[in-house]
């Protein structure tokens, strides 16, 4: 076996070893058997919230075990193909197997990172909130580009995306946008995306074709369900209703259906204007407020546990996490990990896994106890 191929095989084996350690296939099989037995009980659905939680756990465990088993099987199959091709001197068979092994290594690494998403809220759905920085149309257009990037990323993973609200810019783009991404480990994957994103390009809105720098902030927080208790006193909130903004015409909202909720102790503000019904907007806004308060509590715990990690996750317009340069050269660089891509158009089309995985790996490494 060629040295390069042997290195790929060893990388996959190392990932499988780590996966086996975190997954513990025997424990997962035992737990799946227990969950199947629970699901067959006649009163299983008498508590819908509990039943849904158990079914979600079963789905996630089954998917993780299936993925681990398949990677191990495909590794053995492709090693055999390489050895067979070498015995018969068939270079095409060797090349095909080597190509498959490289793809398998990338997947094994991704599953390895995913297996380490064991935070309290990592398995939850995720809100992504985007705000344009100073700079008017330039930054508003950039905010909308980021919104599209995350939507494309989610669609590539077969996640569901809901636009909770958009505040359109005067000429183009959005002043702010909130999307809800639904899927396994959505928050775990996206949590390191919080921070300021910087764009450098020749402005399409500048008649003199000058280079402009734009900023937008991204905040990521986990969606919460009824199984997570978030107590909010009525005296701690202020609820305002107002008329939704829109493009006008026959679809303009002529009633005060938009809802803004301010949590006075923390200063957290959420708003929703996506629905025509004030009742639906109010329900969505309350769900968002509970999610924001939950995320704040998770962050407080993280700060107490690891001050150094918390310093990296502070959010503000002074904290840039990634730079996207379209002119005079093409480069996307994560300022925390050093990860780069010379294909910013692909990145803006949702190809951000390498940045996410690098940031997660660095955070996981930082959280490991020193030996």
136 φψ region: left (φ > 0), alpha (ψ -120 to 50), beta (else): left
Nearest to 327 by CA among 212, 181, 183, 165: 212
pLDDT band at 38 (very low <50, low <70, confident <90, very high): very high
Residue 95 has pLDDT above 60, yes or no: yes
For residue 228, what pLDDT is reported? 64
**Positions of E strands within 51-194:** 126-132, 160-168, 174-182
Q: Are residues 95 and 173 in the same domain?
A: no
Q: Are residues 105 and 132 in the same domain?
A: no
If asked whether residues 193 and 319 sit together in one domain, one would say: yes
Q: Do 173 and 217 reside in the same domain of the chain?
A: yes
State which residues form the domain around 51.
Answer: 3-115
DSSP state of 309: H
Domain boundary among 115, 150, 165: 115
Confidence tier at 290 by pLDDT (50, 70, 90): confident
Q: What total of structural domains would you count in the chain?
A: 2
Of the candidates 29, 27, 53, which has an alpha carbon nearest to the alpha carbon of residue 39?
A: 53
Q: Which of 61, 81, 115 is the last residue in one of the domains? A: 115
Answer yes or no: is 223 within a domain.
yes
The pLDDT value given to residue 193: 94
Whether residue 278 lies inside any domain: the answer is yes
The Cα 277–Cα 324 span in angstroms is: 39
Let me know whether 28 and 172 are in one domain.
no
Tell me: do 47 and 95 sit in the same domain.
yes
Is position 120 within any domain?
no
Are residues 257 and 166 part of one domain?
yes
pTM above 0.95, yes or no: no
Q: Would the pLDDT of 254 be above 60?
A: no
Q: In what order do the strands lie in the sheet with 331-334?
A: 160-168, 174-182, 126-132, 211-222, 195-202, 320-325, 331-334, 340-341
Asked if the model's pLDDT at residue 306 lies above 80, the reply is: no
Whole-angstrom Cα distance, residue 318 to residue 336?
14
Q: How far apart are CA 90 and CA 191, in angstroms?
A: 46
326 and 280 housed in the same domain: yes
Question: Which residues, other chains included, contact 239 with Cβ-Cβ below 8 Å and sequence gap of 6+?
Answer: 259, 260, 261, 262, 282
Q: State whether 34 and 82 are in the same domain.
A: yes
| Residue 245 lies inside a defined structural domain of this protein | yes
Residue 282 maps to a domain = yes
What is the structure's pLDDT at 245? Answer: 64
CA distance linking residue 366 with residue 290, whole number of Å: 28
| 215 beta partners | 198
The answer on pLDDT for 220 being more than 60 is yes
Question: What is the DSSP code (8-state) at residue 266?
Answer: T
> Could you please report the per-residue DSSP string of 42-76?
TTGGGSHHHHHHHHHHHHHHHHHHHHHHHHHHHHH
DSSP letter, residue 264: T
Last residue of a domain, one of 68, 88, 115: 115
Q: Is residue 105 part of a domain?
A: yes
Whether the pLDDT of residue 200 is over 90: the answer is yes
| pLDDT greater than 60 at residue 311 | no
CATH number at residue 310: 3.30.70.1660
């Amino acid at each position: 076996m060629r040295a390069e191929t042997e290195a790929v095989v060893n990388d996959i084996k190392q990932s499988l070893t780590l996966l086996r350690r975190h997954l513990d296939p025997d424990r997962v099989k035992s737990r799946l058997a227990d969950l199947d037995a629970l699901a067959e009980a006649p009163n299983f659905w008498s508590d819908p919230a509990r039943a849904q939680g158990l079914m979600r756990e079963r789905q996630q465990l089954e998917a993780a075990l299936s993925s681990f088993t398949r990677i191990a099987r495909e590794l053995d199959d492709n090693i055999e193909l390489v050895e067979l091709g070498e015995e018969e001197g068939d270079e095409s068979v060797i090349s095909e197997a080597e190509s498959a092994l490289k793809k398998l290594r990338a997947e094994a690494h991704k599953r390895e990172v995913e297996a380490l998403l064991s935070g309290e809220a990592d398995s939850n759905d995720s809100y992504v909130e985007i705000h344009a920085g100073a700079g008017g149309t330039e930054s508003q257009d950039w905010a909308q580009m980021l919104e599209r990037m995350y939507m494309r990323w989610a669609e590539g993973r077969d996640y569901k995306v809901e636009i909770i609200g958009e505040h359109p810019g005067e000429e183009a783009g959005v002043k702010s946008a909130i999307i809800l991404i639904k899927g396994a480990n959505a928050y775990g994957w996206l949590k390191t995306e919080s921070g300021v994103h910087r764009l450098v390009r020749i402005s399409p809105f500048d008649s003199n074709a000058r280079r402009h720098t734009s900023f937008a902030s991204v905040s990521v927080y986990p969606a919460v369900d009824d199984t997570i208790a978030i107590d909010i006193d009525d005296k701690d909130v202020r609820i305002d209703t107002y008329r939704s903004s829109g493009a006008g015409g026959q679809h303009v909202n002529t009633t005060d259906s938009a809802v803004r909720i301010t949590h006075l102790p923390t200063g957290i503000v959420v708003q929703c204007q996506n629905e025509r019904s004030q009742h639906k907007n109010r329900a969505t806004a309350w769900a968002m407020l509970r999610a924001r308060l939950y995320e704040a509590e998770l962050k407080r715990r993280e700060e107490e546990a690891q001050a150094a990690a918390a310093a990296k996750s502070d959010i503000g317009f002074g904290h840039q996490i990634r730079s996207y340069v379209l002119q005079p050269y093409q480069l996307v660089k994560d300022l925390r990990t050093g990860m780069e891509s010379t294909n910013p158009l692909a990145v803006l089309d949702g190809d951000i896994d390498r940045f996410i995985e690098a940031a997660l790996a660095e955070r996981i490494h930082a959280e490991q106890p020193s030996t």
